[in-house]
Amino acid sequence: MAVNLRKSIKILIVCLSGLLYIFSLTKNCYCETDSCAGSLPVAIFGFVGAFNYGQTYLVWLANPLLWASWVFIFFKPKVSVFLSVLAFLIALAFLLCVDIKDPNTGVYHKIISREAGYWLWLSSIGTMLLGTIMVREKKSENTIP
């Protein structure tokens, strides 16, 4: 019974994180001086920027870490915690970015705001992080020394 409950909790954590992630894709993630960027195009094409357009785009690498965390929670919860922590720290690093390079023109634009898409994305990663820690803690409490 406890095993089924544990698996149900893991499924709930991944579903909640996934729903926040999907919802984030429907919103803008940041605004520059002259326009706002939609989260879906950034999520789809961000991997190109991560390797070609500077450090601001490296934040996109939090995505595959989050996706891997969704999988590892079922098989290696300790790895899932590590991946979630790393994804969360990388995602937080976007708050330190002041400008972003336009991949079409090569011109840098000042980031003037983080929009709902970014905060929902960060919440998705944070939910996964807290969930993996909770699952890991529950496992620790149930083991007899």
pLDDT in tens, the chain (145 residues): 466 888 999 999 999 999 999 999 999 999 998 899 999 988 888 777 666 666 767 888 999 999 999 999 999 999 999 999 999 999 999 999 998 887 778 788 899 999 999 999 999 999 999 999 998 766 555 554 4
Residue 65: how many other CB atoms lie within 10 Å: 20
Burial of residue 63 (CB within 10 Å: 0-12, 13-18, 19+) is buried
Please choose, from the candidates 4, 14, 21, 26, the residue with its C-alpha nearest in 3D space to the C-alpha of residue 77.
14
Q: Does the pTM of the predicted model rise above 0.85?
A: yes
What are the start-end ranges of the H helices in the chain? 2-24, 39-52, 62-72, 77-92, 116-142
Q: How far is CA 55 from CA 18, 45, 110, 140, in A?
A: 26, 15, 14, 38
Which tokens go with 82?
């590590």
Which residue is it, tokens 């020394």? 145
Percent of the chain with pLDDT over 90: 63
pLDDT, position 2: 64
pLDDT confidence of residue 31? 96
